Amino acid sequence: MSADLGTGPVSNALTADNISVVFGGLVAVNDVSFTIPDQSIVSLIGPNGAGKTTFFNVLTGLYTPTSGDVRFGDRDITGQPPHKIASWGMARTFQNIRLFGLMTAEENVMVAMHSHMRAGIFSTVFGLPKQRREEKEAREVAVDLLDFVGINHTRGEYARNLSYGDQRRLEVARALALKPRVLLLDEPTAGMNPQESARFVEFVHRVRTEKKLAVLLIEHDMSVVMRVSERITVLDRGEKIAEGGPADIKSNQRVIEAYLGKSGAEASEV
Amino acid sequence: MATAELVGPPETREHGRLTHNARWAIGFGTAAVLIFVTYHWVLPSLNANINTFVNSWLPLSVVDECMVWMICALGLNIVVGFAGLLDLGYVAFWAIGGYTAGWLISGQFYNLKIDIFGSPAAGTPGIHINFWLVLVAAAILTALMGILIGAPTLRLKSDYLALVTLGFGEIIPQFFKNGDHLGTLSGSGGFDFTHGERGITPVDPITIGPWKLGPFDLDWQFAVFAAIAAFVIFVCLRLRVGRLGRAWLAIREDELAASMMGVPLMRTKLAAYAVGAVAGGLGGVAFAEHVGGVLPDSFDFSISITLLAMVVLGGMGNVWGVMIGALVLSWINANGLKQVGSTFNSTFGTSWDFPSYNYLMFGLILVLMMLFRREGLLPESRTKLLLREPSRTDVESVGADLEGESA
Amino acid sequence: MAGTLVARARVTRRRKMSPSAFLQKYLGYLMLALVAYWMLTKFIKSPSQFFSAALDGLENGTLYALIALGYTLVYGIIELINFAHGDLFMLGTMMSALVLSKLGVDHSSLTGWLGLVFTLVVVMAACATLNVIIEFLAYRRLRRAPKLAPLITAVGVSFILQNIALHFHGSTPKQHPSALPAASFNIGSVQINQAFLVVIAVTAPLLLLMTFIVQRTRQGKAMRATAQDQDAARLMGVNVNRTISFTFALGGALAGAAGLMYEQTVGTTSYNLGQQLGLIAFTAAVLGGIGNLVGAVLGGLLIGLIQGLNDGLPLLGQLWSQSVVFTVLILLMVFKPEGILGKPTTEKV
């Protein structure tokens, strides 16, 4: 599924065509088209209320768009239920962390392997060899993932008792357990200080290369956005107003007016 | 015994020592054997005073009844405690199990004469299927009913779900009560499916191999019920640590996040409903055998609430806690309060009607437990945390984290 | 943020309907059509029987509306199904019987009518007070707890009230004399009881008063603000605790009024009345769209009508009366959980 970087033409992991979402009379997203190439790092930015989270929710199947299509690889996923889209390899984290607080870190990760596991009621009750093997493998994968994000020491602890930073990492580990083709990160650096943010940028690159997946970020911290993204899409009031590399966006007059207006000076210093 | 199977998740596995679950399982097995031995051999050889005492405080029929309650409470615990779905009509499954027994091991359908390893009195008409096969049939039927009831309702928000299940808990007994004239409106004629308010009695006795249990073989009845209970406990514990159990807990914790992690909500909830229903069905068959038939009036709302009180008292989600909660409350319900009352009254010369406060007490248990000890008397550690208020808020966590970084 | 608004997007889209969604949509319409057809044939066959069954239904329906308002008010403000509300109504019927028998009220005299009004005020006040106490003792502490906890508490309170009633009242239903006039008159071939008019004369002003309080008064504004966002309301200077208490008082008062009306028209009291009627009334509240006052009244009348027609025409007859209402509830939950006048909601992310 994952073509190596630089070999052959880059296919799109995700294509959204002319997406519109209307809530009652309010147009939250208006005719936005958008692609995520395989193994790219793409950001979605825009001022509050620009429709970023709505757009995210369309991609993950929580909302069905009023019009438009979402294609995931070769598959049309418009209107499919969230759990199916997730099992096909679309993983996300949440703006406000949503872990399973009273399950251990390890169990949190294992929940996300649900769709890759097969054990049913009978094989679980009677502990058939196949089920035991599957459990064992799942546990090993979970431990590997916890290692990967660097919180293996917490595997037996309840997610709720983890520190804020570890909870964020656990969310990423949990998302990775879906074996995603696209990883959606919703404001992942919220609450991080500059050093942590810098480490986070490295981490995103590492995830992309080691797990061979595409990353889509919603992010407010412009320094993070500019350093991490290969391409940036800017939404304002539900419409796409700009798209391009960090340098283009930084110099785009419309973006500066609509979004960077107040903090434009800061952003251009980065 | 299957105790070797009853191992918890690795993080609770203790090297060289028995796991928590294994210890409880051995405890349960030992207690069951002890009770059987006591009532079967020890008591008859003791003097009359002791026998009178035991028979007034803890007669064997009450012990048997407690086992039935325990089986059902464990089933409800799967739905409420594991998956976090409030079911207020659980009595429906108990009733369906009971009527399955009523239909399959009695003379209800007198036009038929079917006998599959059954134990009918010689020459009686009706369907007579072996008790153990009836258990299987009840399990299948209640699982199907669980899915049938659950399929349209489990999409609902949790509080709506509670209400709809309450509705089902009312409709299904009403169906059994009025189901003696199906196909007519007049209240006479029609197909007699459930024998109306008179219920279906008697049902054939339990068989163990070639041997029929007589009406006074309560000790053997206990052995059979304890075996069913052990099976239900085993199923609960195994499912709890597997793929399905994790999905249930995830749904209980955060439904939306669970679906975003690839857990199909409907199917997982349905599984909880079906498995929970099966336990109710097994309990229903056992209850029918215990009282020798089924009566529609015995399946009312208060049973659902009593079961809920058992689950809440023992600690939602905690198999062993629920077991203890069920045993204690069912004893109080069946016989304990009456005994305590008569002892109290004769000691202090009062004449309070203790048993009439029974259900009041269950209501109070629900309220007081929720107000002051939501995790139950024997909390499972994770439920304890879930139901307690957050000890520190997100903002505080952020603060603490940042402080930790800068230090 | 836009994403947190109520999402209708899912509803407006037609494309790619799964078979189950398709079935759900059209099965609902099919059933409605069948019911309409059944009602029409009955109507053509015997209009007078149809109308008298409908009137019986509407009489009950006004009571359901009063009780349903209590559910909808409380649900609207703290998103709790107050299972104990039906039992509060049941206590209302018993208090009515008690006060009236102490007063020795009989009909057709001015003192009799004054006695009735006095009873109405006393019972309404008592039920309002009781409801406020219940909220204070049982629900207030759990306002920020996970949803399962207050729900279980409400079930517990309901059970407690039932058993208190069982103690004072006994398990057998009791019949009470009515102080309302027994006379009736005819319009065409349809018989109308004067008692029915009294019920309308009491409930209609109460419903109007309720709407006025919620829509026009300061306290009503506080209620609506608290319903939307408790924290924001608190920041804007709304006393949230008092507002919630006030809401419970209103609901309780209505339950009390319904209690008296029921005691006067049906004439029986029973300890488990609240559970039956409570569930029916809640169905009514959901039918109308929970949280919506007009919806609750509409739902109450509709449920009353359905029940009246089922019992009077009969569809399945009185034996199945409860089952018919619960079937409505279940179908409703499945096909249109937001009710007639409610708005669909989705979870915030």
More confident residue, B141 or B49: B141
Q: Where is average pLDDT lowest: A102-111, B70-79, B102-111, C8-17?
A: C8-17
Is residue C32 a part of any domain in this protein?
no
pLDDT category at B374 given cuts 50, 70, 90 is: confident
| CA distance linking residue A184 with residue B94, whole number of Å | 46
pLDDT digits (tens, 9 = 90+) for B257-305: 999 999 999 999 999 999 999 999 999 999 999 998 899 888 888 899 8
pLDDT digits (tens, 9 = 90+) for C254-291: 999 999 999 888 888 998 888 888 888 888 888 888 87
| CA distance linking residue C207 with residue A265, whole number of Å | 60
What distance in Å separates residue A128's CA from the closest CA in chain C? 34
Q: Average the pLDDT over B215-237 and give the result.
A: 91
What distance in Å separates residue A67's CA from the closest CA in chain C? 8
- Number of helical (H) and strand (E) elements in chain C, helices listed first: 13, 4
Q: Which CATH class is domain A1-89+180-270?
A: alpha beta
Neighbours of chain B (3+ CB pairs under 8 A): A, C
Q: Average the pLDDT over B74-99 and give the result.
A: 93
pLDDT number for residue C139: 93
Considering only CB atoms, which chain C residues are within 8 Å of A19? none
**Which residues form the domain of C306?**
46-180+187-335
Contact A10, A3 (CB under 8 A): yes
A64 closest CB neighbour out of C2, C6, C9: C9
**Which of B236, B243, B266 should one mutate to test binding to chain A, selecting the residue with the greatest count of A CBs within 10 A?**
B243
Domain extents in chain A:
1-89+180-270, 104-179
B4 pLDDT exceeds 60? no
C2 closest CB neighbour out of A26, A94, A95: A26
pLDDT number for residue B249: 92
What distance in Å separates residue B169's CA from the closest CA in chain C? 10
* DSSP SS3 for A184: strand
Neighbours of chain A (3+ CB pairs under 8 A): B, C
Is residue C59 a part of any domain in this protein?
yes
CATH number at residue C73: 1.10.3470
pLDDT number for residue A221: 86
B371 closest CB neighbour out of C151, C153, C160: C153
C57 pLDDT exceeds 80? yes
Looking at chain B, the whole-number percentage of residues with pLDDT higher than 70 is: 86
Tokens, residue C96: 């009515």
C337: nearest CA in chain B? B156
B406:A193 CB<8 A: yes
**Could you report the predicted ipTM of this complex, rounded to two decimals?**
0.89
B161 pLDDT exceeds 90? no
Please name the residues in contact with B130: beta carbons below 8 A apart, sequence gap of 6 or more.
Answer: B116, B117, B118, B119, B207
What distance in Å separates residue C181's CA from the closest CA in chain B? 33
pLDDT number for residue C21: 62
pLDDT number for residue C18: 59
Please name the residues in contact with C204: beta carbons below 8 A apart, sequence gap of 6 or more.
Answer: none
Q: Average the pLDDT over B361-389 and give the result.
A: 73
Contact A20, A68 (CB under 8 A): yes
More confident residue, C221 or A102: C221
pLDDT category at B380 given cuts 50, 70, 90 is: low
Give kind and range of the element (H or E) at residue B99: helix B91-104
Looking at chain B, the whole-number percentage of residues with pLDDT higher than 90 is: 34
B367:C275 CB<8 A: no
Interface of C with B in 158-217 (CB under 8 A): 158-160, 162-164, 166-167
Q: Average the pLDDT over B126-143 and give the result.
A: 92
Considering only CB atoms, which chain B residues are within 8 Å of C323? 170-171, 174-175
More confident residue, C66 or B113: C66
| CA distance linking residue C259 with residue C86, whole number of Å | 10
C9:A238 CB<8 A: no
A53:C3 CB<8 A: yes
Considering only CB atoms, which chain C residues are within 8 Å of B76? none
Please name the residues in contact with B26: beta carbons below 8 A apart, sequence gap of 6 or more.
Answer: B3, B18
pLDDT number for residue C38: 77
Q: A162: alpha, beta or left, given left = phi > 0 and alpha = psi -120 to 50?
A: beta
pLDDT digits (tens, 9 = 90+) for A171-187: 999 999 999 999 999 99
A23 closest CB neighbour out of C8, C15, C16: C8
Give yes or no for B392 touching A (CB within 8 A): no
A100:B405 CB<8 A: no
pLDDT number for residue C342: 67
B123 pLDDT exceeds 80? no
List, in sequence order, the alpha helices (H) in chain A.
52-59, 82-87, 105-111, 121-125, 129-149, 164-176, 194-211, 222-228, 246-251, 253-255, 264-269
Strand partners, A27: A22
Tokens, residue C131: 């409801």
Considering only CB atoms, which chain B residues are within 8 Å of C342? none
pLDDT number for residue B11: 40
Nearest to C263 by CA among C125, C100, C88, C54: C100
pLDDT number for residue A253: 84
Neighbours of chain C (3+ CB pairs under 8 A): A, B
pLDDT number for residue B358: 84
* DSSP SS3 for B200: strand
pLDDT number for residue B19: 67
Give yes or no for C314 touching B (CB within 8 A): yes
pLDDT number for residue B400: 37
pLDDT digits (tens, 9 = 90+) for C89-145: 999 999 999 998 888 766 566 777 888 889 999 999 999 999 999 999 999 988 887
pLDDT number for residue C192: 78
**Which of B371, B375, B383, B391 should one mutate to test binding to chain C, selecting the residue with the greatest count of C CBs within 10 A?**
B371
Q: Average the pLDDT over C184-207 and give the result.
A: 80
Residue carrying structure tokens 């209970």: B229
Q: Where is average pLDDT lowest: B86-90, B193-197, B289-293, B321-325?
A: B193-197
pLDDT digits (tens, 9 = 90+) for B59-69: 889 999 999 99
pLDDT digits (tens, 9 = 90+) for A211-267: 999 999 998 888 899 999 999 999 988 899 989 999 888 888 888 887 655 554 454
Is residue C276 a part of any domain in this protein?
yes
B308 closest CB neighbour out of C142, C155, C319: C155
- Number of helical (H) and strand (E) elements in chain B, helices listed first: 17, 5
C347: nearest CA in chain A? A62
**Which of B5, B261, B316, B385 should one mutate to test binding to chain A, selecting the residue with the greatest count of A CBs within 10 A?**
B261
More confident residue, B132 or C14: B132
B217 pLDDT exceeds 90? no
pLDDT number for residue B15: 44
* Four-residue CA torsion sign, B23, B28, B32, B35: positive
pLDDT number for residue B405: 35
pLDDT digits (tens, 9 = 90+) for C139-174: 998 888 777 889 889 999 999 999 999 888 888 888
pLDDT digits (tens, 9 = 90+) for C244-263: 999 999 999 999 999 999 98
| CA distance linking residue B402 with residue A224, whole number of Å | 18
pLDDT number for residue B403: 35
- Tens-binned pLDDT, residue by residue, of chain A (270 aa): 444 444 445 688 999 999 999 887 788 899 999 899 999 999 999 888 788 888 989 999 988 899 999 999 889 999 899 999 999 999 999 988 999 988 899 999 999 999 999 888 888 888 889 999 999 999 999 999 999 999 999 888 889 889 988 999 999 999 999 999 999 999 998 888 888 888 889 999 999 999 999 999 998 888 899 999 999 999 988 899 989 999 888 888 888 887 655 554 454 444
| CA distance linking residue A259 with residue A262, whole number of Å | 8
pLDDT number for residue C137: 93
pLDDT number for residue A18: 92
C199 pLDDT exceeds 60? yes
Please name the residues in contact with A192: beta carbons below 8 A apart, sequence gap of 6 or more.
Answer: A165, A168, A200
* Number of structural domains found in chain C: 1
| CA distance linking residue A201 with residue A182, whole number of Å | 17
More confident residue, C205 or B397: C205
Nearest to B306 by CA among B67, B71, B69: B69
**Mean residue pLDDT across chain C:** 81
**Cis bond leading into B202, ω under 30°?**
yes
pLDDT number for residue B397: 37
pLDDT number for residue C314: 64
Q: Average the pLDDT over B238-253 and give the result.
A: 92
Q: Average the pLDDT over B367-379 and give the result.
A: 82
What distance in Å separates residue C320's CA from the closest CA in chain B? 8
